[in-house]
Amino acid sequence: MGYELLIVDDDPNILEMLGLVLEDAGHNVRVAADGLEAVAALEDRPPHCMVLDLMMPGL
């Protein structure tokens, strides 16, 4: 059983690449393309870990 992970990045290529790698490792991955999506995901179901692009617009 893997961890619940949230990836937040405005680059769709990074979201896809990290998502595939982490899912292949057995984790449940959710993605958000901006800060608003990330906040909604956090309020809905907090993850065990979040990978966050700090240089993303809107954060």
Task: Tell me the per-residue pLDDT of 15-45, one tens digit each, with 9 for 90 and over.
Answer: 999 999 999 999 999 999 999 999 999 999 9
What is the identity of the amino acid at 50?
Answer: M
Domains of the chain in start order, with CATH, are 4-52 (3.40.50.2300)
d(CA 1, CA 39): 25
- Whole-prediction pTM value? 0.90
Task: Please work out, in degrees rounded to the nearest 5, the angle formed at the alpha carbon of residue 46 by the alpha carbons of 16 and 34.
Answer: 45
Token pair of 28, please? 């449940």
Q: Given a cut of 80, is residue 58 above it in pLDDT? A: no
Token pair of 50, please? 């979040």
With b meaning 16 or more CB within 10 Å and e meaning fewer, what string describes 11-29?
eeeebeebbeebeeeebeb
